Amino acid sequence: MRPAAAAPRPTSPVPPAPLPRLDVTALRAALSDLAHPEATGAQLRVTGSAGRWYGTSGVADRASGRPISEHDTFRIGSITKVFVATVVLQLAAEHRLVLDAPVQRYLPGLLPPAFPPISITQLLNHTSGLPDESRDGRPDLSTPEGIARHRYDKWTPEQLVSLISHGPMKFTPGSKQEYRGVNYVLLTLLIERLTGRRYGEVIASRILDPLGMRRTSLPGKGPRIHGPHVHGYMRMTDGSLLDITTYEQTSAWGEGEMISTTGDLDRFQTALFSGTLLPRPVLEHMFTLPDGVRMVDGSPARYGAGLQTVTMNGITLWGKTGERYGYASFMMATRDQQRRAVLTFNPTHRDATQVQMTLRVGEALTKS
């Protein structure tokens, strides 16, 4: 059996920038602004050796006016990808797959034969170059009404993969970086092929159960969130707000369908960064950006194998953002875990305005 790919050589250790004292006033102000972007609620959990704080604003349910509780669940969107990446890297550490090997070796016949070899690492760090999704057979989600009309559509992972099977590669695999959800659909199919189990069962047995993440789940084919949860809303064309909480999640299969709490995500991030879930040499893949590669728009690469990175006020954070209709979130920390943060909020528009809350909270977390 071939060994797993060698871990990237870590750079010389650089002393972390000293963290500013936690500014609770700034955090409270950042979280309380539910007009930029328009949102119905927000909550933030800050932990780590450099300070702790938890706060909320808005409501969990507009119909009842119930305030948000720290035990309320919410849709975490693409933070799901960190769980998938963790399992893939665990399988690599167990020599059940080779990270430099093409995914076509493990999933023969799934991608068109004309496609070039695409390595597992290139899927993990979004350098695959896979074609854009075909619009044929794809519902029109350009309006709030279209989104609402198709909220109960069901998809299979094979249908999702088929959408990228009818066009030329966007770039040579490994030469550029472009964030694509379909990369993780393929990785999740890989998990199922290698383990012979549904990927949700694999994530539960390898991560959720050992860490005691009892409020974290995958909805599977069910559109509802069970138990106490935060509702998501969408502003319609006529100005009304639609409760969009109940939504079939198979369109985000394998890359954005999990449900969790701020406390559970903090527990997961702590275990991941501490080396509890992955051997240190394999964990290093998550914190390694592809060498000499830039995003397709020319900006610097920002995705490792499952994690993304951002530097604000001289402080580098690693983690992941996520969004679904009515929900947006991030899970971020410094590598030394002096500061960890889990933010979730409920924007009424899924568009570029969402970044206002994310940047405002990030600024408050890192400013001197």
Bigger pLDDT: 263 vs 14: 263
Please say if the pLDDT value at position 49 is more than 80.
yes
Average the pLDDT over 239-247 and give the result.
Answer: 98
CA distance 306 to 272: 11
Res 17: pLDDT = 58
347 occurs within a structural domain = yes
Q: Is 155 inside any structural domain?
A: yes
Whether residue 15 lies inside any domain: the answer is no
Is pLDDT of 136 > 80? Answer: no
Report pTM. Answer: 0.94
| 218's tokens | 């995958």
| Residue range 276-303: mean pLDDT, rounded | 97
Tens of pLDDT, residue by residue over 306-343, are 999 999 999 999 999 999 999 999 999 999 999 999 99
Residue 291 lies in a domain: yes
d(CA 122, CA 125) in angstroms, rounded, equals: 5
Q: Residue 256 in contact with residue 188, Cβ under 8 Å?
A: no
Number of domains in the chain: 1
Indicate if the pLDDT at residue 65 is higher than 50. yes
Q: Name the residue among 280, 367, 264 with its Cα closest to residue 47.
A: 264
8 pLDDT more than 60: no
Residue 1 lies in a domain: no
* pLDDT number for residue 251: 94
pLDDT at 186: 98
6 in any annotated domain? no
Residue type, 282: V
CA distance 56 to 352: 23
Token digits of residue 23? 């500014």
pLDDT for the residue numbered 167: 84
Is residue 307 a part of any domain in this protein?
yes
Q: What is the arithmetic mean of pLDDT over 243-254? A: 96
Question: Cα separations (Å) of 317 from 14, 150, 173, 312, 334?
Answer: 14, 36, 27, 8, 5
pLDDT of residue 10: 46
For residue 4, pLDDT beyond 60: no
Cα 357 to the center of its chain, rounded Å: 17
pLDDT at 124: 98
CATH code, domain carrying 89: 3.40.710.10
Active site residues: 78
User: Rounded to whole angstroms, how far apart are CA atoms 185 and 251?
Assistant: 10
In this structure, is residue 311 part of a structural domain?
yes
Confidence band for 137, pLDDT divided at 50, 70 and 90:
low
CA distance 331 to 81: 12
Helical (H) or strand (E) element with 120: helix 120-124
Range of the domain at 192: 24-366
What residues contact residue 318 under an 8 Å CB cut-off, 6+ apart? Answer: 273, 286, 287, 304, 307, 308, 309, 332, 333, 334, 335
Q: What is the pLDDT of residue 139?
A: 85
- The mean pLDDT of the chain is 94
